[in-house]
Structure 1
Amino acid sequence: MNNEPHIAFEQVVLERSHQRPVIVLFGATWFSPCRVLTTTLESLHRERPTLFELVLVDTEHEFVLAERLGIRGIPRLQLFVDGVMTAELQGFRAAVDVREFLDLHLRGR
């Protein structure tokens, strides 16, 4: 998992997504739905650590990146595969919904 400040998006997300899928969660630490979704994703990542890489982007600190990528609302989850965003979820989702999203989009990996 990567949550370092001022991430180099192209290197951390796009390049690494050629090796394995990368899930990016855009959120804010002060916003309760983002904290809950972060906990859910971290738990799912611990269950299947080789299935995907998890990157957390705090939009309060990475506002330029969020604006450049068109992030208007949080939380927002985006899945990158082979350098391309292939799926996304907007808004808070229950753990079962996030698991279904992963199963649907990462099937066969």
Structure 2
Amino acid sequence: MAWDLEKGERVKDMTWDLERRAVTIGDTTIMLTSTEYRLLFSLRHGNPVTYANLASMAYNCKMDAKVRMMMDKHIDRIRSKLRGTGIYVYCVNTYGYLLLPEAF
């Protein structure tokens, strides 16, 4: 997976649009809520991000059971929106999440 930071954060052919809170993957543009965008954007480098770091970056709060439940629900919605694009948000059990090309 290659990121092109000079052209606006890309994975493969994924482009990030902060103003519209959207990602474009190939010919598909996916609109996200502001929270979904912050969560997904936090994963853009293709490295695992801890639950605690995601809570801080996306929600500006500390991690607890309630925040984790909310985060999991948002990630599920993001996964639904990404379905069929070739990109997937993977769970790294007991650690956090990771954005990578979908394994078929």
TM-score for the superposition, normalised by structure 1: 0.28
TM-score for the superposition, normalised by structure 2: 0.29
Of structures 1 and 2, the one with the larger relative CO (CA 8 A, separation 6+) is 1
